[in-house]
Amino acid sequence: MMTSRKEGYEEGVTSGKEQLSSDVEHTLKLANDYALGSIRSDGHWCGELRSNVTITAEYIFLRHALGLDLRADNAAYCRYILSQQNCDGSWGLAPEYPGDVSTTTEAYLALKLLGVSPDMPAMQQARAFVLKAGGAEKLRVFTRIFLATFGLFPWDAVPQLPVELILLPSSCPINMYTLASWARGTIAPLLIICHHRPVYALPEDYLDELWLNPTDKMVPYGSSLGDLLCQGDFTGLAFSVVDNLLYYLNGLRSVPLLRSYARRKCLQWILERQEPTGDWAGIFPPMHASIYAFVLEGYELDDPPVRLGIQALENFAWEDETGKRIQACVSPVWDTALMSIGLCDAMSPDKHVLQQAITWIRNRQLLKPCGDWRIYRPKLAPGGFSFEYENSHYPDVDDTAAIILAQLKQDPQSVASDSVIAAATWILGMQNPDGGWAAFDVENDKLFLNKIPFSDMDSLCDTSCADITGRILEAFGLMMRRESKRPVLSPMLRHACTRGITYLASTQEANGAWFGRWGCNYVYGTSHALCGLAYYMKDDKRVSGLVAPALQWLKSKQTDDGGWGEPLLSYQTTGTQQQQQSTPSQTAWALMGLLAHLPLSDPAIERGIRWLVCSQQPEKGIGASWPEAFFSNFSRARPATVPTDKVVPLRYWDDLDYLRRLCHDFTFRFDDVLDASKLDAALARLIEIGDWSQLGARLRLNDQNRLEYHIPAEYTKARPAYNFTTTEYGLRISEHELGKQLPKSGQDQSVLSPSPAVFAPIVRHADSPHKLADWIYTDRPQLHIHVSVFQDATLVTVSYVHTLFDAIARSTFFNAWIAVLRGREDEVPPFIPFEHDPLRTLGTEAPVKPYSNFDRALSGLSLVIFGLRYLWELFWYQQEEEHPIRLPRRCVERLKESARKELAAMSPDNEDKAPFLSEGDVVMAWWVRTIVTALNPAPARTIMVMNVFNVWALFEEWFPTGGAGFIGNAFFYSYTLLVAGQVIQDASLAYVASKNRKALMEHRTKEQVQAMTSMQRASFTRTPPVVGDANLLFMACTNQHKARYFELDFSAAVVAPGVPLSERPHALGRPSYINDIETCQGYPTRNVVRIIGKDAAGDYWLLFKTRPGAWAVIHRQLVALLKLDEKE
């Protein structure tokens, strides 16, 4: 029984959805296994809470000041701090943030206290960064305080903090309780510290190398009064006047009775908030400062407040292979609540684990009437939860809402439990007048406090935010659904939620997104707002108007690979939601928001789910999870030059702008299991042979906007010659959601294979670079090798910038690697050093003959018109789509025979003089006819096909035989001019192929290459000429068959065959498919083909790239060709 194409398509879609559903179930099982494997013995979860290096540095300051021994952990602390250093020598506030002078200074001082020599390259780079950033003169207030405690900064250059602030009543416009909880807990002990102005003396010149002018350290910490007046900043002016007045009054120290009383009250305030475990507020800053305060007030190290405080800080330590660091906080309650929600949503079968987790959480509900929140809500009954193990004074609303969700999802009957009712009642009482909710406090919105001189991070207030409000709307919405039969709180919940929706309506951005305060950033805020609003679509007419633009915004931010990614830098550029490569957390957040309103069949949701399924990674131990990538090395600051590096400018023909913009992830698929360690060892050995060590060069951009190689004098673990990563999948490639879609020998062509970029999650590592900035703004080597090992297949990927080598030189690299792998080092050719440029004179001398296409080269107005037309086409067809095509051997043979017959018909009397046509000529001609037919240009329109060719053989005097040992770019262009109407005729293969062969023979001569390159050198943009007319249709072809990629023999690394040799055409260790992800940054390409080569079965593999609308016609032509071949 035959089915129609539509029916077949629908069956395929249904089958695909069923398969995706199966893959999701498998993914969830692995994640569930990982969750069970990482649970603590008493039933809760707690992962690492990462922060920047200042937390660890400040802990080192404390231990040094108190005389506590650091020798046992010295190396571990050093290893961690150095591992976080950016390539420009700096340390940043957050991943991918640019270097920060205060963070860098604190890291530098900590390392110096740990005994690291200032002459160490890392220290030299840090010092250079600080000085370039303005020196220690530019430090933030808190860093000044830390340095002042060691006598390295004048106390008079620190804002005044009178202890008497603690005496101001809560009714005063400015008092301790108008500050956010985290600021309040930190400032109280700072009042004591700034009263004593301690000096745990280090040599006066200990950090002088970080000052521009170490003789004058009395630098201002804010704008002058005159500047504030000119700026119209009257609030800042008032605070600065008060600060100056306090300075002249010696910080009120001259009133001893008041000062003595204030100190006692302050110390009492701090002591009342210490937990039995020694914690203060569960976070590092108040704990750190409070220990200082008690010691300065005469307490000994063995006294309980100090001893317990130090132990509490040590409990924040986290150590692994990266080193030892101190967390800013611990997050057991939060982690357990979210994990419980996740397991419930995934319908985990391990009910007893969930019950144990919920019981563990409930036991931490804060039901005693204590906490700073009671200052402004004295009659509100307690019921909140805190983030940490011990933090009875500062429950937070976000945790409490998440725990309501966890309890209701684990047991719907818990809606009437004392725990849920108490939690919801407490949240109701914490709602702000604007309708939103903040994290810890209520009505803590005195933003003018951020103008206080010691507030240099604008973080003194705890205001309402969309992400927390959205979570509460979700929790309350679920409660009201569960309470439908016995409404206890529903009327109050409904009223609060109406006000919450009003708040969200007032804070939605013009583009539909919401700012996220407690997660990065707009994706997080928008997701939680959408999850909350989903419960009110029917009851509140405003909601649909809020949801529609938010969904549209989320969809618009989906990346090409199907995931979502937003950098932390979006906090610095508020309102401009940037994108980065996809991350698991942000993809999950986005999907949560979309799933709350859209069906599972929505394409954006399906793509996002596929990305999560495919990006799951096996973890140590049991199960699998989603490791987050770190982007701290992707800042825009250029790395400092290492003095011992050899600096070599890139060769002229390597450092062209369009090569800089092309980055590749070039992947071999092997239907065998390869030993990654053997591949690694062979490459490491290759680097040791002669000048092949130069492959480890780093790319840098100099002040003249030219690229340079910085070649290390030696390679170390910290500065390797290449990056080599491995992922092992405990399954067959056909069992992996993406792996099963990866093309292979004999690939079915009845449906288009996915774009190469779709396979990024399995061919790339999370840290693989993919754009030029990932190299030039880091100290990473040029090559990143990633090996993905399945039970029956191996994928080997090389990530690089096109400036390194072209397609032919790429095969030189692979052949050298293979020679070492096979134990034949004598076959490795001498490496041509980067400082030697065989083509350095090419195009510099007057050409012997004029360029044959000189008369048709566009210039002046015609070039401008062509440029405008091309830009218009790019604007009108903004998207491009790329798919691999397998052209079977029999089809190629038949196409070649047809072309020969057409040639004979064109010249019946001169068959012997018919031009030679290669298989490559015919394959290229078929591509031209296929794509021109699909694009359907006007019949009279000129088609310009730019063909790439290598020049090693043309300039034998400049290159070794066959270009042996040359790693670089040595390709130029031939131009074939065609007429669209003739291309799309039935018998056009010979026309196109012969014209192409003739153009290639004409242009691939020494004289013509010299003439063309002289024109390119003379061009302002250093680009090759455009030939034809202003209305031409531009196309480009790169035939890489001569690189012989499918003949590369990696059999020496094979552990076991994955597909029996009797069931495949390719030999052991030979590639069965090549996936090439070409990332173009600002270099628009359309109508391009890369002929990757001919596989062992004789089939040609091509990569087509053109606009999406043309693909239906292209595929129809391919299917027709295949059917014709089947008939014959």
Give pLDDT tens digits for 403-445: 999 999 999 999 999 999 999 999 999 999 999 999 999 998 8
Report how far residue 190's alpha carbon sits from residue 529's, in angstroms, rounded to the nearest whole number.
Answer: 37
Element (H, E) at 404: helix 397-410
Which DSSP string do the residues of 586-627 spell out, in sequence order? HHHHHHHHHHTTS-TT-HHHHHHHHHHHHH-EE-SSSSEE-P
pLDDT digits (tens, 9 = 90+) for 886-907: 999 999 999 998 888 888 777 6
Judged by DSSP in three states, 674 sits in: strand
pLDDT digits (tens, 9 = 90+) for 20-35: 788 888 889 989 999 9
Residue 233: CB atoms within 10 A of its CB come to 15
For 479-485, which contacts have Cβ atoms below 8 Å and span 24 or more sequence positions? 479/404, 479/408, 479/415, 479/420, 479/424, 480/535, 481/535, 482/408, 482/412, 482/415, 483/415, 483/416
Judged by DSSP in three states, 1092 sits in: strand
Element (H, E) at 14: helix 5-37
Question: What's the token pair of residue 371?
Answer: 């906490």
pLDDT digits (tens, 9 = 90+) for 652-678: 999 998 899 899 999 999 999 999 999
3-state SS track over 763-787: HCCCCCCCCCHHHHCCCCCCCEEEE
pLDDT at 3: 33
pLDDT at 226: 65
Q: Which amino acid is at 835?
A: E
Q: Dihedral sign, CA of 594, 595, 597, 602?
A: positive
pLDDT at 773: 81
- 1030 contacts 941 by C-beta, under 8 angstroms: no
- 472 contacts 427 by C-beta, under 8 angstroms: yes
Taking only Cα atoms into account, the Rg of the chain, rounded to an integer number of angstroms, comes to 34
Q: Which of 680-694, 697-711, 1055-1069 has the lowest mean pLDDT?
A: 697-711
For residues 238 and 965, the model is more confident at 965
Judged by DSSP in three states, 99 sits in: strand
Which entry of 243, 372, 398, 434 is annotated as an active-site residue? 398
Decide if 398 is catalytic: yes
Report how far residue 191's alpha carbon sits from residue 161's, in angstroms, rounded to the nearest whole number.
Answer: 6
pLDDT over threshold 90, residue 98: no
3-state SS track over 522-564: HHHHHHHHHHHHHHHCCCCCHHHHHHHHHHHHHHHCCCCCCCC
- 838 contacts 959 by C-beta, under 8 angstroms: yes
Average pLDDT over residues 181-206: 92
pLDDT over threshold 70, residue 326: yes
Report how far residue 1093's alpha carbon sits from residue 1073's, in angstroms, rounded to the nearest whole number.
Answer: 10
pLDDT digits (tens, 9 = 90+) for 989-1032: 888 999 999 999 999 999 999 999 999 998 877 888 888 898 99
Measured between its terminal Cα atoms, the distance across the chain in Å is: 23
pLDDT at 236: 56
Of residues 955, 942, 930, the one with CA closest to residue 1027: 942
For residues 641 and 781, the model is more confident at 781
Question: What's the token pair of residue 1004?
Answer: 């691939």
pLDDT over threshold 60, residue 7: no
Chain centre to alpha carbon of residue 1062: 43
